[in-house]
A and B are shown apart, each in its own frame.
Chain A
């Protein structure tokens, strides 16, 4: 797959400027996507980008590849069909929290259940931006918006719970303003064989400004975010002084070296563990008592849908004695009239 000429982020740029609001997180992820695609080293002609509807889905107009800006909620179904039909393509889906969690929720969970090898980039800004400011399925209870002037009376989805609950085998989380963290998560998602979801926390400056303040700047992330790495202890804080330990049936934040806790007590991340319990727990941690978890939380390999489809075609073809239309006819009950 690797081309002789090394690819650069420029190869994935189509020189059409992004039309998002100044300061929108989508600019950041646009840049990270191009860098990640260059690193993945699959050429633009074999890169398919399928997006839905919403601010985030406009991404399809700003990338060089085979880009298809589709309809609201359906990009995952379209991407699935594309990948099943031609498994040689590297297929990306760009969607928002409306596309994936609301109108297209059904396609989202079933793609994960099937495990089609597509990379879903879920840009979560907890708001409907393109329709100018209504609450979304990821908005917090009580959220005041144009469609909820007195606050919402419903609880949000945590995308991670939905993903892991729908037997998703890859989940990573990053922040739009964190270039290196985003690039790493996107590369890992692309290299994972199977449905991979990267939840990108992206701030809507116009309709939901400040939603991710706790982790949006580099400094705040040092304090409030835990970057997971497979095989590494779960340490965070400015000087990595805090760690996550098991506490009965729960997790707990401790200061290493205090209260009798040493580095040995700190949990070591295992992204490849098939059991889903701790991955679910880790991805649902949030403030003020816990850090927000970033990086690759779950990365488990199982057979992909399209591989199984191809395998079945091979197996059935080897067993059956008909492989074209004329041979198919011979398997039917026929009679000849002379």
Chain B
């Protein structure tokens, strides 16, 4: 290494890989994040890809990005990046907003031809000047380098050699961040195990990309060092939200000693849950790709009735279709886990983007009075616990439960300290016992919890009828009797409210003597916590109450909210949780709102600005 190089020591770093959706940015990003994680960093990643499978090559609509935040106490994929990799002019244009003044840009200079610039709708021949970018640029001829690097692999067509550009860029990035290549090489070996030639080519360009940095670094004299950290001991892996949900479901099924059944219909961004569970037949998991969303929910209801741990997974539009069947599960009081990986709406909306706009739909989007437990996933790895808890509540309380995840949590990944199942609470189905035969009726309940007892088909002595019509609370026969209906409505509501008794209380984070409380729920946890932590570090007194459970709310919610002078509810919608809290609790302290509905996660700097403004000005 030359001596004139500056090494910047940072607590954490953000790298954004961007290029055409066919350029392999997700792969390069995934490998880089895994390498960082293995080296002991906290990581959080977020892929941003277009809804179209292949938008016209080289256009802004076809740009795909993958952001990695690595370092200490990382909770979000970060806002602005230290390094932007832009594989073509369109990527540069699209990702410009993520540049900080001292960000370094790596481009493949071979793709900055007049034709490429035109495709990206540049009007001059200097894209940097046109965009007003004054950052340092490493203009590496990545395409030419690939061809040189692989010149000896004569049988490989040039087209395929050029496909290694992403890994060439990765090699260069690894050099910049002092990441040794051994882990990346191992991952490439595994990824292309069945195609040794491609594995060899990628490993070669990875090394050459690294060497390029080493040899020509004088052009940009910055290298980064991430502060080492001392993470908690344990076994770790990197996991995204959808996979963590799938793992949580499998863990719950094993713990409950039930077969896991998933009824689903493909829908972005929830489909990966189906993909993941479909793989694990050796755990006895049954997955059915159904003919439609309604069938996905109905098949799961049938499986639940037959005694399985039944799940249906979808996104917002699918919830619209499933809602009638979800109400049947409420009426028949059958366990069912419904996963809604929220995306931008309404209608088809923004299929690949994130929002928190299904909250009120989850709570109230069904006919009649139809209370259903709703809980939300906070981070990618938290999805495991969320799924586990949802299954436990569904099975033990004989009720459908909705999990609200979102595109950000589903596709983003973080490192996960793998737990041991023995540390998780037991899950016990609320089934009839043999001594109940003759005295039992379908809607007789445990007096404490109001949970009815399930009799699974095949159990001798418990033949019965249940269904969507209102039933007599004692006999289980059809009843249109006015007082009975009111009584049953009340019981269904109270049953869900009583779940709060077994839920953890709300814990506030941040300054203990703050006057202002930030309130959030679900997938914005990382952004809100980082914002509050940064403000606390700056001496500003704010606290955070972040909700996992939406219905029922934790027992101490009202008490917590009333102990602050100002409440700021921050969410990725127009104020749904704020409206819900106002409905639940009268005369709360004045509630301010921060609402972003751009299909994107919060931006931390903006959040801090908004919070500061509310504290100071209002």
Contacts and interface: CB of A to CB of B under 8 A. Distances in A.
Interface of A: 14, 16, 43-46, 48, 50, 53, 60-61, 64-71, 74, 77-86, 88-89, 106-107, 110, 309, 312-313, 316-317, 319-320, 322-326, 328-329, 332-338
Given A84-B261, A85-B307, 9 more contacts: A66-B455, A70-B328, A81-B304, A82-B305, A84-B303, A110-B291, A313-B282, A325-B283, A328-B280
B136 interface: no
- The 5 A-B pairs of least Cβ separation, nearest first, read A81-B302, A69-B467, A81-B299, A77-B298, A85-B303
Given A67-B465, A71-B324, A81 B306 contact: yes
A282 B288 CA distance: 34
Contacts of B308: 85-86
B155 to A, nearest CB: 31
Contacts of A50: 302
Contacts of A83: 302, 306
Interface string B477-491: 110000000000000
Nearest to A80: B299
A61 B478 contact: yes
Interface string B321-350: 000110010001000000000000000000
Nearest to A62: B465
B325 A328 contact: no
9 contacts: A68-B305, A68-B465, A74-B325, A80-B302, A82-B306, A316-B281, A326-B420, A329-B237, A335-B38
B378 interface: no
A230 B500 CA distance: 62
* Interface hub of B233, B286, B307 (most chain A Cβ within 10 A): B286
Interface stretch (B111-119, B456-464, B581-589): B456-464
Nearest to A322: B282
B294 interface: yes
A14 B280 CA distance: 42
A77 B420 CA distance: 36
Interface string B208-251: 00000000000000000000000111111110000000010011
B127 interface: no
Interface of B: 34, 37-38, 40, 187, 190, 231-238, 247, 250-251, 254, 259, 261, 263, 280-284, 286, 288, 290-292, 294-295, 298-308, 310, 324-325, 328, 332, 418, 420-421, 455, 457-469, 477-478
A85 B306 contact: yes
B290 A77 contact: yes
Given A68-B465, A84-B261, A86-B458, A336 B324 contact: no
B483 to A, nearest CB: 22
Contacts of A110: 290-291, 295
B463 A81 contact: no
A332 B281 CA distance: 16
B328 A45 contact: no
Contacts of A106: 291-292, 295
A82 B303 contact: yes
B457 A334 contact: no
B235 A336 contact: yes
* Interface hub of B34, B232, B302, B477 (most chain A Cβ within 10 A): B302
B239 to A, nearest CB: 8
Contacts of A66: 305, 455, 457-458, 463-464
Given A82-B303, A325-B250, A337-B233, A69 B298 contact: no
B306 A77 contact: no
Contact of A328 (B283, B300, B460): B283
A84 B283 contact: no
Contacts of A67: 463-467
Contacts of A82: 302-303, 305-306, 457
Contacts of A336: 234-236
Q: DSSP majority for the B interface?
A: mixed
Given A70-B328, A71-B324, A325-B250, A78 B261 contact: no
Nearest to A113: B291
Contacts of B462: 45
B547 to A, nearest CB: 28
Contacts of A60: 465, 467
A323 B292 contact: no
A45 B459 contact: yes
Contacts of A71: 324-325, 328, 468
A83 B468 CA distance: 20
B233 A338 contact: yes
A14 to B, nearest CB: 8
A61 B472 CA distance: 14
B118 to A, nearest CB: 42
A177 to B, nearest CB: 26
B462 to A, nearest CB: 7
Given A81-B263, A106-B295, A328-B280, A45 B236 contact: no
Given A68-B467, A81-B288, A106-B292, A337 B232 contact: yes
A107 B302 CA distance: 13
Given A82-B305, A323-B282, A89 B458 contact: yes
Nearest to B253: A325
A252 B238 CA distance: 71
Nearest to B465: A67
A69 B420 CA distance: 41
A118 to B, nearest CB: 10
Contacts of A85: 259, 261, 286, 302-303, 306-308, 310
A268 B34 CA distance: 69
Contacts of A61: 465, 478
Nearest to A316: B281
A53 to B, nearest CB: 8
A232 B531 CA distance: 82
A337 B234 contact: yes
Given A86-B306, A325-B251, A325-B283, A69 B288 contact: no
Nearest to A306: B286
* Interface hub of A53, A61, A81, A110 (most chain B Cβ within 10 A): A81
Contact of A81 (B233, B282, B300): B300
Nearest to B327: A71
B261 A74 contact: no
Nearest to A69: B467
B467 A334 contact: no
B283 A45 contact: no
* Interface hub of A44, A328, A336 (most chain B Cβ within 10 A): A328
B254 A324 contact: yes
Contacts of A89: 306, 457-458
Contact of A78 (B187, B305, B469): B305
A268 to B, nearest CB: 37
B27 to A, nearest CB: 14
A212 to B, nearest CB: 29
Given A81-B300, A325-B254, A326-B421, A45 B461 contact: yes
A25 B596 CA distance: 60
Contact of A46 (B280, B302, B458): B458
A65 B463 contact: yes
Contacts of A77: 290-291, 294-295, 298-299, 302
Nearest to A89: B457
A322 B283 contact: yes
A239 B462 CA distance: 50
Nearest to A16: B477
Contacts of A328: 247, 250, 280, 283
A117 to B, nearest CB: 13
* Interface hub of B281, B418, B462 (most chain A Cβ within 10 A): B281
Contacts of A69: 465-469
B237 A334 contact: yes
